[in-house]
Structure 1
């Protein structure tokens, strides 16, 4: 297959490599741009904005064991030069962001979960391409398989709840406020309430606490502020008419 493959076929923007190289596959350049460079660039921009907020936030957990465990499997890439450089910056940013998110946020990082979820999916086409090219690139294929597995491991670690190690001052009564991206996205946090509703007659005490921002006192303050602002606008309007 390698002898009949035209020179430079994988250096084309793609997306599909010629059939003489592989029967059905992306070009490696296409994978570098869309599966490595683009996700890393978006993550870097988002991470910088998030880091600026976290650096001003107080520490909210009592343990750093989970944060340390999450740092171990992240360093992982060997690809084309441009892709590897940008990926290296993304790795450094993810190390710092992972630690600060664990220590200064009451729930798992949505940004980290989404990034590593997409990275684990986008790593699969490159892994497939490299295994198709074996035995010429057996070492690279094996390394990239470890990359994919490591990315999935990091994704699982980043999705772990940390309710038990949150400091008392920052513990929220609402399960939604401390739930991970997946739990909130699929409304898994309300499943116990549904289960109770099917098995027995639920009462007010069975209903989970809502987020602090949705409770009565914050809502009343917002209502008073909106009412004062509305009255000021009306008085200003009537005064300008006269």
Structure 2
């Protein structure tokens, strides 16, 4: 176990060994972890979530999967409760508290609360899993690993409870990532043949091009024909692109 180190209140990023060698050089300073690994992602996701809500506001409901919706809301609510408990412990002086701890906990709680609302709307109004929520959960889950290690290494009589709650929030974050990655298109009001495979994928599937695997397998077995190709997004169809081109052409021919 390591004791409270003088470098924890500095930005760091490296903590340093301390005057008596009581700290690990491998560790980040707490202020650095809370600023870069918590405050920064939350400061980015809050306005991004607000913009996403504004963008999808007023859309028609296209997904009717109440079970998955209830599971997501339940897990998000649990995450809010545990983060609020963490914030209460830090506010009452439990664990190691720096000048950024309370701000970090507050923004984390607010981010989860806002994402709860976004998840509910995005679940019902979009066929595709929420890319914003997935990206936030992936990035914060990765950077939470060194933060969990730090919390368990801190030598403080009251820090075991804080470390345990922090670990629970990490597990809930991973659970949310799994539920937010579940495809919803089978429960959509839109006919399946009108939903291109790319539109069914979240940020992970689109990044890894998983939606192309069935076509690759089919092409391995036989020569592909036009009937084997996927439907394309409405915005990429020739009729729509032709209308856009014609409109732009007319504007270019008669700019005034």
- TM-score, structure 1 normalization: 0.88
Runs ≥4 in structure 1, deviation > 4 angstroms? none
CA contact (8 A) 1:107 1:177 kept: yes
Number of equivalent positions: 232
Picking from 22, 32, 35, the partner of 2:34 is 32
Unpaired runs of 5+ residues, structure 2, are: 88-100
Aligned to 1:187: 209
Q: How does 1:155-194 map to 2 (within 5 A)?
A: 155-168=177-190, 172-194=194-216
Aligned to 2:238: 216
CA contact (8 A) 2:37 2:143 kept: yes
Q: Which has the larger radius of gyration?
A: 1
Q: CA deviation at 1:157?
A: 0.8
CA contact (8 A) 1:35 1:119 kept: yes
- State the distance in 2 between where 1:199 and 1:134 align: 60
Aligned to 1:9: 7
- State the distance in 2 between where 1:153 and 1:10 align: 30
CA RMSD of aligned residues (A): 2.0
Report the secondary structure of 1:72's partner residue: helix
Q: CA deviation at 1:184?
A: 1.2
Q: CA deviation at 1:18?
A: 2.5
Unpaired runs of 5+ residues, structure 1, are: 237-242
Higher RCO structure (Cα 8 Å, ≥6 apart): 2
- State the distance in 1 between where 2:252 and 2:57 align: 37
- State the distance in 2 between where 1:175 and 1:46 align: 25
Q: How does 1:55-94 map to 2 (within 5 A)?
A: 55-74=57-76, 75=79, 76-77=82-83, 78=86, 80-94=101-115
Q: Does 1:97 align with 2:118?
A: yes
- State the distance in 2 between where 1:2 and 1:65 align: 45
